[in-house]
Structure 1
């Protein structure tokens, strides 16, 4: 009789699991009414607002169109330099001797002279804090032998990161005609990036080289001991700015990242801010004044923080809703209790009740045979959610693991179970 019950329970559990594969979790509920993008009255060429954890795009204006990025180019330059330091190919303390190309590079600069010597760390700070073009060139030449060899790395890295609309011809963001004539590339073209590509670059920096944010948050930097004044950060939105004329632009939680300007690019800014555990990435391109790039960034970030929030719908090490156990083979029991290995969060309209979110799950089992320890992977669950009125679907896949160990059943139990399964299959 006991074997009878065991086989029947196994069959029922399996049928319940199949039903769960297509079942929505709970009833739909949305909270905040999201205003239209048009109501923000943005004055710019392109823009994007992204929440990097879910990848949700909250705002998009010509976001996939390639435009001149100006000095936002230096984020890629900095990313590769930081990567080389991380790999041990170069060191922050290495001393760089400035060459002709850097000394003749115009625009925003720290007036590097041919033969002048500075550490990688000093040039890195000058490039990111003060947007120094000559510092960017000096770093590239030291790291790769020439600016154009470094540019080859930039284009390869852009491809690897999925920046489909990006192409670089230099490390500074200058227009081709503003580069020193002997050091211009032979092939025609200009630096271009889409707002979405810039956001991808920012996300990669945050994930792979968060130490760059420590530099971009510096309100000023004393480049040379002999300099009469420190270099001032070109980002007016930093709360740490000491200049009172910038206070009106200070933005709570903003810790980066990079400004840009050329005549062809207009005034640009890639910013990122974090509030209450939620980080947003904002990119504005082609504004018409130095102050506009910051006022428009404020509008974009406010839109995100005012109307959206991250909500956890599944806690780490919790039992997936409606799926307390999964079938297993050869064990002392025919099923084992399970846990979600990771937490799951979605970006939702602000004020949404997490318990009332409508999301779907898809369980993909992994065949598991006893014996096995607790924490053994028994499958994956993919959670999907879509904010009403938005095209993008948020998706998160997590491992499902056994909550306990399971020993292998004895041969007599396995034999009886097999016989019962054959009999059950006849009816």
Structure 2
């Protein structure tokens, strides 16, 4: 009987081990294992600016209609500044009309004898990548496309896109414009943008302009699955919007596709899941489907393999900086700690060592490294940041690296000591120093 029980136990244990081995283990994909079939690519966490993946991301390439992200930016800026409004109207110039009438370009075949509102033109540009409406908006904002191109390049420098070169508002190569290129540019010039700059431009387009409820204004238009003008309905070129059957992706709501012979198939995408937003860029892929398939790889990698993690909590104290000495205070030192938590996006499941690093504002310290009373609870005396072993790519722009820090603040009020206390303390310090000197003198004798 005892032997049969042992046999049964062994059989059950073998079955359990076999069953457990059949349960698939979580798959962890490293950046090295993400094979993106594109000339250039990047993936960025839109909340922190941290780069999660990049492949030749600084290589400047023709961005095709992704150029229109800058056109959209300047139009939204002009609206915000009151230069134009959504309800303002304009008509197509001869050049803009020629683009609309050309079946080889994205367009609605608009009429030249009709007024169109800014919102109509912007919607057509955002949804159908309409070239005629891009030119019409550029001419409305700046008086001419040539002036608008100058604004595009100035804004590129302001936003920190050093590799950007804009030669028109549409993203078409100047050689395709039949001599209608902006006069300040050459007939064979093309727009250029790196994947990193495209992602940074997308970040600003998403974050710099908001609706009344605080949501990104640009995404209100880029998320439209279709738009109708002049009785013609055009579907959004972004086939990763959730309503699309083949490539639909959860949370996708922008941003801009592009294609020319020189650029190949490009796409700047953005999606939000569970409160996290990612921005992806792929440039020079081989086909229309490929730009979406490669984007899906990037986004799935970002959402599945990374998490937002609290690195240091609010109230954290650095081991060798829990207090700072105070000059002329009722207390001789004061505690300092972080005023809020530090969070970061890190790979899931990795054992990462985070090393805190602090910087005290030297202008607040005297020659002896002391703060001077009086002090108020919450006074900022420095910053805390961190480094960690898994930081592979850094940030899309230095501004984000600077933001990856929190303030170190005083934890208590420290009143200034009265004159009697200061005199008594000075006398005490005098005798302490005197005693120390005497002891040192005697030690020197032996």
1:359 and 2:355 aligned: yes
- Residue 206 of structure 2 corresponds to residue 211 of structure 1: no
Give the one of 369, 372, 377 matched to 1:374. 377
TM-score by length of 2: 0.80
- 1:236 is paired with a residue whose SS is coil
Match of 1:45 among 34, 39, 45: 39
Task: Could you tell me which runs of 5 or more consecutive residues in structure 1 were left unpaired when the two chains were aligned.
Answer: 1-30
Show the 5 A alignment for 1:303-318: 303-316=301-314, 318=315
Matched, 1:66 2:60: yes
Residues 67, 330 of structure 1: CA spacing in aligned structure 2 closer, same or farther, 3 A cutoff?
same
Per-residue deviation, 1:405? 2.7
Please report how far the alpha carbon of residue 117 of structure 1 lies from its aligned counterpart in structure 2 after TM superposition. Answer: 1.2
**Aligned counterpart, 1:11:** none
CA contact (8 A) 2:354 2:386 kept: no
Give the corresponding residue for 2:387: 384
Classify the secondary structure of the residue corresponding to 1:126: helix
Specify the alignment match of 1:191 in structure 2. 191
Indicate whether 1:325 and 2:323 are aligned.
Answer: yes
Where does residue 422 of structure 2 map in the other structure?
A: 414
Q: CA 1:315 to 1:123, structure 2 compared with 1: closer, same or farther past 3 Å? A: farther
- 8 Å Cα contact 1:338-1:403 kept in structure 2: yes
What residue is the counterpart of 1:136 in the other structure? 134
Matches within 5 A, 1:249-328: 249-316=247-314, 318-322=315-319, 323-328=321-326
User: Residue in 2 aligned with 1:92?
Assistant: 86
Q: Kindly state the Cα deviation for residue 114 of structure 1 after the two structures are TM-superposed.
A: 2.5
1:35 to 17, 21, 30: 30
Q: Distance in 1 between matches of 2:236 and 2:430?
A: 75
Q: Could you say which structure has the greater relative contact order, defined with CA pairs below 8 angstroms and 6 or more residues apart?
A: 1
- Give the distance between the partners of 2:288 and 2:346, measured in 1 at CA: 33
Task: Determine the C-alpha separation between the residues in 2 that align with 1:253 and 1:90.
Answer: 31
Contact 1:133 1:172 in 2 (8 A): yes
Q: Are the aligned partners of 1:51 and 1:279 in contact in 2 as well (CA < 8 Å)?
A: yes
Distance of 2:411 and 2:65 partners within structure 1: 51
* Structure 2 match to 1:237: 240
1:186, distance to aligned residue in structure 2 (A):
4.4
* Deviation string, structure 1 residues 63-117 (Cα, Å, up to 9, x no partner): 1111110000010100111111112222111112221221112411122332421
User: 1:375 offset after TM fit, Å?
Assistant: 2.0
Q: Deviations over 1:273-331 (max 9, x none)?
A: 22233222110011111111101100111122222112121344x23343443333322
- Displacement of 1:352 in angstroms is 4.6
In 2, Cα distance between equivalents of 1:380 and 1:41 = 38
- Secondary structure in structure 2 of the residue aligned to 1:141: helix
Q: What CA deviation, in whole Å up to 9, does each residue of 1:117-150 have, x standing for no partner? A: 1111111111111111111111110000000101
Say whether the 8 Å CA contact 2:42–2:57 is kept in structure 1. yes
Give the total of aligned pairs: 384
Cα contact 1:373–1:405 (8 A) shared by 2 = yes
Give the corresponding residue for 1:12: none
Counterpart check, 1:221 vs 2:223: no
In structure 2, relative to structure 1, the CA distance for the partners of 1:186 and 1:409 (3 Å cut) is closer
Give the whole-Å Cα distance in 1 for the aligned partners of 2:241 and 2:393.
33
C-alpha contact 2:40 2:56 (8 A) present in aligned 1: yes
Decide whether aligned partners of structure 1 residues 407 and 164 sit closer, same or farther in structure 2, where only a CA change above 3 A counts.
same
User: What is the TM-score normalised by the length of structure 1?
Assistant: 0.83
The residue number in structure 2 matching 1:75 is 69
Shift of 1:421: 4.7
Secondary structure in 2 matching 1:81: helix
Please say if residues 331 and 371 of structure 1, whose CA atoms lie closer than 8 Å, have aligned partners that are also in contact: yes
The alpha-carbon deviation at position 424 of structure 1 amounts to 5.5
Contact (CA 8 Å) 1:169, 1:190: kept in 2 or not? Answer: yes
* Cα distance in structure 1, aligned partners of 2:389 and 2:433: 40
Q: Which residue of 2 aligns with 1:102?
A: 96
